[in-house]
Amino acid sequence: MINTELCEMLGIKHPIIQAGMGPFGTNKLCIATANAGVLGLISSSGVNSRDTMPEIYKYFIGTAGATLDDDKPAVLEKIFRQTFEGTREKRGIFGLNALVATEERGNAEVIIDAAIKAREDNPEMKERFRVMFTSAGDPMPWGEKIKGAGFKWIHVVPSVKGALRCQKAGVDVIVASGHEGGFHTAWEPVHSMVLLPAVVEALAGSGIPVVGAGGFCDGKTLAAALALGAAGVQMGTRFLATKESDFAPLWKDSVVKAKDRGTLVARGFVGPARWLRTEPSQRHAERTLQMSPGVYLGKPDDFATIPSELIIGELEGLNAVFDGDEDVALMAAGECAQRVTDLPSAEELVQRTVSEASEILTNLPQRLLA
């Protein structure tokens, strides 16, 4: 077993966070990962897809035991209840991921308020529904609401500047997300080998644990993160390709089949995004170069300054995954996809990751010459 301050703070067995990925959600995956002893995250992005991705939305609410008659708070309440009950026997710890980008501010308010209400209505839920994980936006406006509700607060950042802002905002755990990561990435491409130790150094003495994200997928990379000063890792793409993952078979199989240099960066909803390299994603990258060149120049733009057809094309690509249409489908994944070769259960993945990391850390001194 590898025990770090992340484990102590959150009450988890292993220093691993399962990323809250969309658009298919993580309703089933979160239960499996929490029961495996890591922090399971519920993805809330699917709750906003009713109009733009109707089939994905139906699937998302179906895995929550909800119906089309339920509004957003009702859908979320059913997800929280299902996760709470599904992790009861093993006392799994879970949390909720909410996008707090400017474009998502209104949705984020609804999502976070629903989580707060669920815990207030069921005090027993507070014991294991412990974490609010925010991403893709500024943490400053959210501290009073999240901390005031008693959550442990985790926020993801792509820079030292962002980490220092999290410190000011009162964030409990900071995830340093390198440019290797899948889907939403930073406008400026700083990768984990540089970003993670830089954030650790910047926060030295603060008492805030730092978690590495972007490229972490097994025991080797977990051991590397710990050596760089992290208290643990977040894994997204690797957990996407598991038996319990809610993602469509085409998406999961495409991750497993990814080859060397199997991803590229093109426009996403809230900025740059990393996609599996396919013919549709290469066409999307070409459109991005023409319509949103800031993605490749580190110059942020927004929906007001780029043609709507670029975002519409992304929606069409995501919807096509559900239909199994490989000629149109767009599937996000991190660079580590090229190292993913199977579809284990979440339990199997966690156990082998921790076992491998433990063995590496134990035997590392033997590799040093006297």
Q: How many domains does the chain have?
A: 2
Do residue 236 and residue 88 come from a single domain?
yes
Q: Same structural domain for residues 113 and 147?
A: yes
Same domain, 205 and 229: yes
Q: Report in angstroms the alpha-carbon separations of 182 from 179, 239, 268, 292.
A: 8, 12, 11, 19
CA-CA-CA-CA torsion sign (173, 302, 295, 279): positive
Instruction: Check residue 160 and give its pLDDT.
Output: 97
Q: Which domain holds residue 329?
A: 251-335
352 and 274: one domain?
no
Amino acid 302: pLDDT:
85
β-strand 183-184 against 271-276: which pairing, if any? antiparallel
77 lies in the same domain as 194: yes
pLDDT value of residue 142: 93
* Same domain assignment for residues 205 and 261: no
Q: What are 308's two structure tokens?
A: 């709507």
| Residue 42 and residue 93 share a domain | yes
**Dihedral-angle region of residue 14 (phi above 0 means left; psi in -120 to 50 means alpha; beta otherwise):** beta
Note whether 124 and 229 are same-domain residues.
Answer: yes
Assess whether 220 and 298 both reside in one domain: no
- Same domain for 205 and 279? no
Q: Are residues 320 and 175 in the same domain?
A: no
In this structure, what CATH number is given to the domain that contains residue 350? 3.20.20.70
Co-location of 146 and 267 in the same domain: no
Q: What is the pLDDT along the chain (370 residues), one digit of tens a residue?
A: 899 999 999 999 999 999 999 999 999 999 999 999 999 999 998 898 999 999 999 999 999 999 999 999 999 999 999 999 999 999 999 999 998 987 778 889 999 999 999 999 999 999 999 999 998 889 989 999 999 999 999 999 999 999 999 999 999 999 999 999 999 999 999 999 999 999 999 999 999 999 999 999 999 999 999 999 999 999 999 999 999 999 999 999 999 999 999 999 999 988 999 999 999 999 999 999 999 999 999 999 988 889 999 989 999 999 999 999 999 999 999 999 999 999 999 999 999 999 999 999 999 988 888 7
pLDDT for residue 304:
83
